[in-house]
Amino acid sequence: MSIKINYSKKTINKSSTNVVLFSNDKFNISGSKKHLTNSEFSYINDLLKTSDLKKNIFVFEVNSKKKIVLVSIKNNLKSSDIENLGAEFFGRINYGKNSEYFILSDSIVGKYDSFLGHFLHGLKLKSYEFKKYKSKKEPRLISINIDGNKNKPSTQNQLKFRALEEGTFYARDLVSEPGNVLHPDEYAKRLSSLRKDGLKVNIYDEKKLKKLGMHALLGVGMGSIRGSYLVTMEWNGAKNNSKPLAFVGKGVTFDTGGYSLKPARFMEDMTYDMAGSAAVVGLMKNLALRKAKINAVGVVGLVENMVSGVAQRPGDIVKSYSGKTVEVLNTDAEGRLVLADALTFTEKKFKPKFMIDLATLTGAIIVSLGSEYAGLFSNDDKLSKQILNAGEKVEEKLWRMPLHKNYDKLINSKNADMQNINYVGGAGSTTAAQFLQRFILNKTPWAHLDIAGMAFSKYGGALNSGGATGFGVRLLNQLIEENYE
């Protein structure tokens, strides 16, 4: 599926051109009669008299060659409402072969900041599909022509929306790839190509990681024939040398659970266990493409958690990059080991203004919040509030969960500084976050987003049609735009 947006003028053929009109919530058509014949205008008004006006969109089949789509603009719409409306519009026109529509921008009612930009953004996000490995491909094109200059998004806004779409789609593509294709070696190779977008990319392979002492991360990948990596992506868009904003992602490209083996029905989805890293990568690509006026760094740990004769065993003790030791009681609680080294490294090397990590970390967060909210854990109230507000605006919602020293006893170990899981006392998501907090050594403001329930949607959502969601890219972009640019 391809969506082509065309802002150049094309001639509208009244007898065979599909047109899109906007109206107020009472479906009074304004500013558009000139594009309809008198009979079409009367036909639409007669049908509306007997229709359910609670609907947002009506599609009128004028003849075999022409449709008229009427979109209602309700009062006081938020940006996310407009994007959802664009996604709904896509759902109504997404059938048949190639098609072409003319959006009559002069018919847009109400005073909205970049209504058309948000409408088209929602349409494009909803149109995403991953069919790379289908042997029979059916390429389809929907052309959207913008007629009129009223409400046309500025060139700068067009660039911002396009960058955000590309970043989100890149994240979705990464999550959608199967584990036999996107293993750590391939993942690191793909990230090196982001240099062409203007990112400074450094790849730390196993030799470098061993020299640094990142044995928590390295332990997870011991059973794989593939390498383990830490990759940093830097964007320096600020005019000064201000501290960077840091984003850290878990990149377990496939997770068998190791010797703490997952059941088969829970293992098949573990190609998505790198969704946190994909969100970080998509965000960094977006920032570079739109030339964001901030300094930022993305750090991802890339490993494959496999079973073999040299794989990590339950009961092993590893020394992390921080110098703290961890007793690995469960090899399926591996993401926190990857993040532990990545967080300490990020804080020490980049001295960031804040750190936000994203990970499909625990099944417990799905038990708590399902697939409607991600879990938010943080040591900083101001940062938490900013993230929550950004999530509400783009409808990537989060719920703040507790962190407290009283949970520490659940992950204390008799044999090491800590253990990587608690088998008594519950609070699986909180103890995982509590574990991560031990690797924030200098009181840097930090937030952990457990996105296990949000990274993939079997049934689709408002802005996705099922599959990888790219959760986190739009959320963090909104956070940055709203508070740090």
Instruction: Report the pLDDT value the prediction gives residue 32, as an integer from 0 to 100.
Output: 58
Query: How do residues 246-294 score in pLDDT, each as one tens digit?
Result: 999 999 999 999 999 999 988 999 999 999 999 999 999 999 999 999 9
Query: Does residue 177 contact residue 187 with C-beta atoms inside 8 Å?
Result: no
Question: Which of the two residues, 274 and 35, has the higher pLDDT score?
Answer: 274
The answer on pLDDT for 31 being more than 90 is no
- From 262, 313, 319, 353, active-site residue: 262
- From 285, 336, 438, 474, active-site residue: 336
Query: How do residues 132-141 score in pLDDT, each as one tens digit?
Result: 999 988 888 9
Instruction: Report the pLDDT value the prediction gives residue 83, as an integer from 0 to 100.
Output: 98
Is 336 an active-site residue?
yes
Residue span(s) of the chain under CATH 3.40.220.10 come to 2-152
- Please give the CATH number for the structural domain made up of 160-483: 3.40.630.10
Q: Which strands, in side-by-side order, build the sheet including 295-305?
A: 200-204, 229-236, 295-305, 245-255, 354-359, 446-450, 374-378, 398-400
Residue span(s) of the chain under CATH 3.40.630.10 come to 160-483
The answer on pLDDT for 53 being more than 80 is no
Query: How do residues 166-190 score in pLDDT, each as one tens digit?
Result: 999 999 999 999 999 999 999 999 9
Query: How do residues 330-357 score in pLDDT, each as one tens digit?
Result: 999 999 999 999 999 999 999 999 999 9
**Is 2-152 assigned to CATH 3.40.50.620?**
no
Is 262 an active-site residue?
yes
